[in-house]
């Protein structure tokens, strides 16, 4: 014996993803893919063997800080260029 009040609500699907199969990329799609491909990490390629966790953490912190400093410099130069318009 159940009433309508204790039933699970019905889900409503609003829109669906469309398959890109067979469709060419748009200019905005290509621009976004180019932007994603330009992402660089500070970690050098290859296998790095550490003698301790502390040594690994120090390198990881250094790479993270280097990336943050570079990004801040890029943002600062972009902001200055925007102000000088």
Residue 1 is predicted with a pLDDT of 53
Asked, for residue 33, whether it belongs to a domain, the answer is no
- Give the chain's domain count: 1
pLDDT tens, position by position, for the chain (85 residues)?
556 666 777 777 777 777 778 888 899 999 999 988 887 778 888 999 999 999 999 999 999 999 889 889 988 888 788 777 7
Asked, for residue 59, whether it belongs to a domain, the answer is yes
Asked, for residue 52, whether it belongs to a domain, the answer is yes
The parent domain of residue 57 ranges over 48-85
Asked, for residue 63, whether it belongs to a domain, the answer is yes
Report if pTM > 0.85.
Answer: no
Asked, for residue 65, whether it belongs to a domain, the answer is yes
Contact in structure between 12 and 33 (CB atoms under 8 Å): no
Asked, for residue 71, whether it belongs to a domain, the answer is yes
Asked, for residue 4, whether it belongs to a domain, the answer is no
Asked, for residue 60, whether it belongs to a domain, the answer is yes
């Amino acid at each position: 014996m159940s009433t309508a009040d204790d039933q699970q609500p019905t889900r409503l699907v609003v829109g669906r993803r469309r398959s890109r199969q067979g469709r060419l990329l748009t200019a905005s799609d290509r621009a976004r893919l180019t932007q994603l491909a330009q992402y660089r990490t500070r970690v050098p390629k290859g296998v790095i063997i550490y003698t301790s966790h502390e040594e690994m953490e120090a390198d990881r912190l250094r790479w993270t800080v280097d990336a943050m400093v570079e990004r801040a410099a890029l943002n600062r130069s972009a902001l200055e260029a925007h102000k000088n318009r």
